[in-house]
Amino acid sequence: MKGPQAIFWFIVGLLIVLPEMGSAESPRRIGRVEAFDSRLNELFSSGEKFEVLASGFTWVEGPLWVPADSKVDGCDSEPGCLLFSDIPRNTIFRWRPGMGVDKFMSPSGYTGVTYYGLEPGSNGLALDPQGRLIMCEHGDRRVTRLSVGGGKLTLVDNYEGKRLNSPNDLTIDREGNLYFTDPPYGLPDRENDVRRELDFFGVYRLSNTGDLTLLTTELVRPNGIGLSPDGKTLYVAQSDGERPIWAALPIEDDGKAGPLRELADARRYRKEFPGAPDGLTVHSSGTLLGSGPGGVYVITPEGDVIGRLLTGGRVSNCALDADEKWLYITADKLLCRIRLR
């Protein structure tokens, strides 16, 4: 056994001896808030740090706060729970205040029985307007909905008859229209994988009536995605090393996208810290919170980077709770949160 398969089974062997859950942390704080502009103080206090909630994961992604009144079994007690994906483990974990971390779903993104790369699990998670859990699944190359009471429904797995690459992240508007990115990261050999059927990496819109529209192929590594509060601007992070940017796409009344606008460039920050633009979320004020080199970058709708929340390491994604009191982040092997004003 050689190459990626040998590496995969070596890692599987390590995971077998690791606990099913990540380790709940005793209070530990890391990082710092760095302001570039006084406007950052409207959201975060300068003295705040990240609280480490749990550690011991492999590579975590897709945090999602699930309120207790949602239709997700297992998150129905107050105040709700945080779900997040450990992609290599093919598992969704659950964190509940005062109760720590446990396993929520496994397998989460790949249901096959043979080797399928180092990133087979679920990635981005979201709730639809009815409070149901929607998942981007790397290994099964689809977007699914978790049915109330059990089972899954595939929402989309192909574009014009060709299988998607590996749906990565998603966001859903108030009418139930779903937007998602489809880079190669979940394919075992990524862009060179023989199973790849599309010759581009797209950003899509799946309407609430089931119509799939390709919005753009201009971003060669589309990753994190989010919507402005009015639903008229789609934000997309690109994790391409040559052009690591946050971009904005206007959404027209017919659901199609207008010209792409570069919002902010992360190249200068990559000289300081590891990482690239990845997952993101949007505050009710319209401010973008995007993971990037060394932490989370705070960006106005006009593209001003007004500050950053630094851990110093790789941060994959972030999510706000329902009241916007906490920003949760997935940072490599850690689950953390930081308080908002």
| pLDDT 10s digits, 276-330 | 999 999 999 999 999 999 999 999 999 999 999 999 999 999 999 999 999 999 9
Averaged pLDDT for residues 71-86: 95
Pick the CATH number of 21-339 from 2.120.10.10, 2.60.40.10, 2.120.10.30, 3.30.1600.10: 2.120.10.30
pLDDT of residue 112: 95
pLDDT of residue 150: 85
pLDDT of residue 144: 98
More confident residue, 9 or 212: 212
Calpha distance 231→26 (Å, rounded): 39
* Cβ contact 108:92 at 8 Å: yes
Averaged pLDDT for residues 36-40: 97
Q: What is the pLDDT of residues 237-274, one digit of tens each?
A: 999 999 999 999 999 999 999 999 999 999 999 999 99
| pLDDT tier, 13 (very low <50, low <70, confident <90, very high otherwise) | very low
pLDDT of residue 19: 43
pLDDT of residue 193: 97
pLDDT above 60 (res 9): no
Averaged pLDDT for residues 12-24: 48
* Cβ contact 94:57 at 8 Å: no
Calpha distance 121→125 (Å, rounded): 12
Q: What percent of the chain has pLDDT over 70?
A: 92
DSSP 273: S
Averaged pLDDT for residues 137-156: 95
* Cβ contact 229:210 at 8 Å: no
∠ CA 115-314-45 to the nearest 5 degrees? 145
Calpha distance 3→184 (Å, rounded): 19
pLDDT of residue 17: 39
**Domain segments of the chain as ranges:** 21-339
Q: Which residues contact 282 (CB under 8 A, 6 or more apart)?
A: 226, 227, 228, 229, 235, 288, 289
* Cβ contact 134:123 at 8 Å: no
| pLDDT tier, 23 (very low <50, low <70, confident <90, very high otherwise) | low
pLDDT of residue 55: 96
Calpha distance 201→196 (Å, rounded): 11
pLDDT of residue 222: 98
Instruction: Tokens for 56, please give them.
Output: 């011991």
pLDDT above 90 (res 21): no
Q: Which residues contact 6 (CB under 8 A, 6 or more apart)?
A: none
pLDDT of residue 46: 93
Helix boundaries (H) for 108-194:
none
Separation of CA 223 from chain center = 8
The strand pair at 32-35 and 23-24 is best described as: unpaired
Give the global pTM: 0.92
| pLDDT tier, 157 (very low <50, low <70, confident <90, very high otherwise) | very high
Task: Indicate the average pLDDT of the chain.
Answer: 93
pLDDT above 80 (res 104): yes
Question: 107 preceded by cis ω (within 30°)?
Answer: yes
More confident residue, 26 or 314: 314
pLDDT of residue 26: 53
